Amino acid sequence: PGSLEWDQLPPGSLGEVAGRRVWIRDGRPAALVAEVGDLVVTLVSDDASSLTAIVEHLPERERGSAWERLHDACMRFTAAFTAR
């Protein structure tokens, strides 16, 4: 997890997509940086419009306690071995 220092990003455009603050660099490749909860997400593509579409569909990050996260990880691990 991290936090973004928006004023330290290189030249680009600050904006908002789906209620999230974003930084976009046009050109090829285009780049987009957004904060999703306590995660910093960086996307790169030849098509800038695809980047904003991806951000619109990113789920919010839900973080529980360390025990809840450990429990969830164990459940996913167990499911991987019991799935057919």
Taking the C-alpha atoms of residue 34 and residue 66, their distance in angstroms, rounded to an integer, is 25
Taking the C-alpha atoms of residue 78 and residue 39, their distance in angstroms, rounded to an integer, is 26
- Check residue 9 and give its pLDDT: 92
- Check residue 12 and give its pLDDT: 93
Instruction: Note the pLDDT tens digit of each residue in 20-75.
Output: 899 999 888 999 999 887 778 899 998 888 888 888 888 776 667 778 778 877 88
pTM for the predicted model, two decimal places: 0.66
Instruction: Note the pLDDT tens digit of each residue in 2-23.
Output: 578 899 999 999 999 988 899 9
Taking the C-alpha atoms of residue 23 and residue 5, their distance in angstroms, rounded to an integer, is 11
By the 8 A CB rule, do 51 and 27 touch? no
Taking the C-alpha atoms of residue 53 and residue 30, their distance in angstroms, rounded to an integer, is 13
- Check residue 77 and give its pLDDT: 80
